Amino acid sequence: MEHTVAVRIATSYAGASRRLDVAITGSRAVLHEDGRATPFDTERLWPVVRDRLPPLDRLTADPPPHREPRPAGVPGPDWADRCEAMVAVAVVVEGAEPVVRTWFATDDGLWAAAPGDVRRARAGELAELLVWDVTGALETLVRRAAS
């Protein structure tokens, strides 16, 4: 029996919200949005998701070729008022804690948020961590199948 990694992506941009659900089973995936199913190869996860994100370079940047240090900085007190777009990603595999990450694009950069913490994010971080989290979830399923 093959198990599935589930990914939910919620976005908000220009007054509109969007929800994408991705089901990944091995090398195949299906994106569900507004009652439509779009099948694709799992290796194309980032390009498929990127095409559906708010059209801001800081959200759609490809992962950097090498890990880069996180930029320093915390947002100012009015950062939430300057938010242009939000992307939240949840990766779930049965029997494991979900991984939830959220990014906010403002006029002066990209911010990653976790409960009680907001920090400046690197360009390409959304892509890098989406692929990292899904890869980790798939590896969890492989380890379970082998035991």
- Interval 116-136: pLDDT, tens: 888 999 989 999 989 888 888
Contact 26, 145 (CB under 8 A): no
Tally Cβ neighbours within 10 Å of residue 32: 14
The confidence band for 78, taking pLDDT boundaries of 50, 70 and 90, is confident
Average confidence score pLDDT of the chain: 90
User: How many domains does one find in the chain?
Assistant: 1
**4, two tokens:** 């599935």
CA distance 104 to 13: 10
Q: State how far the alpha carbon of 31 is from the alpha carbons of 46, 72, 140, in Å.
A: 12, 35, 21
Domain residues for the domain of 30 are 5-146
- Determine the Cα–Cα distance for residues 111 and 121; give it in Å rounded to an integer: 5
